[in-house]
Amino acid sequence: MRADRRLISKYLLVIAASVFGLAACGGDEITLSDGWVRAAPPGAGMMAGYLTIENGLGHDVELVAVNSPDFGAVELHETIVTDGVASMRRVTDLVVATGDVWRFEPGGRHLMLMRPTGPLAVGDQVTVTLMFSGQPPLTVELPVLRAAPGSRQ
């Protein structure tokens, strides 16, 4: 069952990637890329997800909601380091201006994924849906990884 889900997830990812690829060529879409979720120890109540949002629509959009069937709640947070002290705050300005690229990265903006509905291990996929104003919902599959893609594992 789990294997089936994974296989389906993989196909969805391929389809999603193709759609995004085409959209990127067209340049009139919101593009989501470079997504991943950091693997957390068993029992962790909070995890962080990262991705890049590129607004190629030609007009500003607002990110009105983010949710995931794999988590109780998802919030957008930002780590800010001031005089060496890290603080985490909710991102309140969610307007993605036309042409803007939002990079969610460790130590910066992140999706705060709260209360996982089940255990998540390296290799699993997390489904996240982003709702932008006036746009159909965008769903992405984020792989659970031990460390950022491209970093030395």
Partner 1 sequence: MNKRLILIIALLGFAGGIVASRLLVPDPALVVEPATATWIKTPRPVPEFELLDHHGQVFDKTRLTGDWSWLFFGFTHCPDVCPTTLSDLDVVARQLAEREDLEPMKVVFVSVDPERDTIERLAAYVPHFNSAFVGVTGSAAQIGQLTANLGVAHQRVALSETDDPDDYTFDHTAAVFLINPQGNLAGVFSSPHVPAQMVEDFLIISGQT
Give me the residues that bind partner 1 (CB under 8 A), please.
Answer: 38-48, 75, 77, 79, 81, 84-88, 90, 106-107, 110, 112-113, 146-147, 151-152
Question: Are 118 and 90 a contacting pair, CB within 8 Å?
Answer: no
Closer residue to partner 1, CB minimum distance, 24 or 145: 145
Angle subtended at Cα 140 by Cα 79 and Cα 138, rounded to the nearest 5 degrees: 95
Shortest reach from residue 108's CB to partner 1, in Å = 8
Q: Which amino acid is at 30?
A: I
Look at the block and give the residue holding tokens 């959009």.
61
In the complex, least distance from residue 50 CB atom to partner 1, rounded to whole angstroms: 9
Work out how close the CB of 144 gets to partner 1 at its nearest, in angstroms, rounded to a whole number.
12
Q: Which is nearer to partner 1, 13 or 114 (CB)?
A: 114
Do 113 and 68 meet the contact criterion of CB atoms below 8 Å apart? yes
